[in-house]
Amino acid sequence: RKEVEQDPGPFNVPEGATVAFNCTYSNSASQSFFWYRQDCRKEPKLLMSVYSSGNEDGRFTAQLNRASQYISLLIRDSKLSDSATYLCVVTTNTGNQFYFGTGTSLTVIP
């Protein structure tokens, strides 16, 4: 079983729409959680960390559900510039590496 699983999509949404991505993780000892954004042929860039209480950064909201072992990313009022692949990332308190989901592709349509 993969450490982190994501729906690959693609998600095609109109401008202004709200879209949500979910990601599940298998290791209950997972400690830190992140969402990264990756544009085509570019490096992944940190979008936001995910905290237990949930956190918001402008149009982006991230939530963590430890009991069900999933994290989510909500994007409100989608912009064309939000088109990218969104990667879910998890670390554990015993390992020395980051575990990446395969990414969810988002295209925002005019």
Partner 1 sequence: DAGITQSPRHKVTETGTPVTLRCHQTENHRYMYWYRQDPGHGLRLIHYSYGVKDTDKGEVSDGYSVSRSKTEDFLLTLESATSSQTSVYFCAISEDRVKEAFFGQGTRLTVV
SS3 readout for 78-91 = CCHHHCEEEEEEEE
Q: Rule CB under 8 A: say whether 29 interacts with partner 1.
A: no
Rounded CA-CA distance 72/74 in Å is 7
Q: Rule CB under 8 A: say whether 55 interacts with partner 1.
A: no
CA-nearest of 30, 20, 23, 40 to 98 is 30
Binding-site size for partner 1 (CB under 8 A) equals 22
> Which residue of 11, 82, 100, 106 would you call a contact of partner 1, by CB under 8 A?
100
By CB under 8 A, name the binding residues for partner 1. 31-32, 34, 41-46, 49, 87, 89, 91, 93, 95-98, 100-103
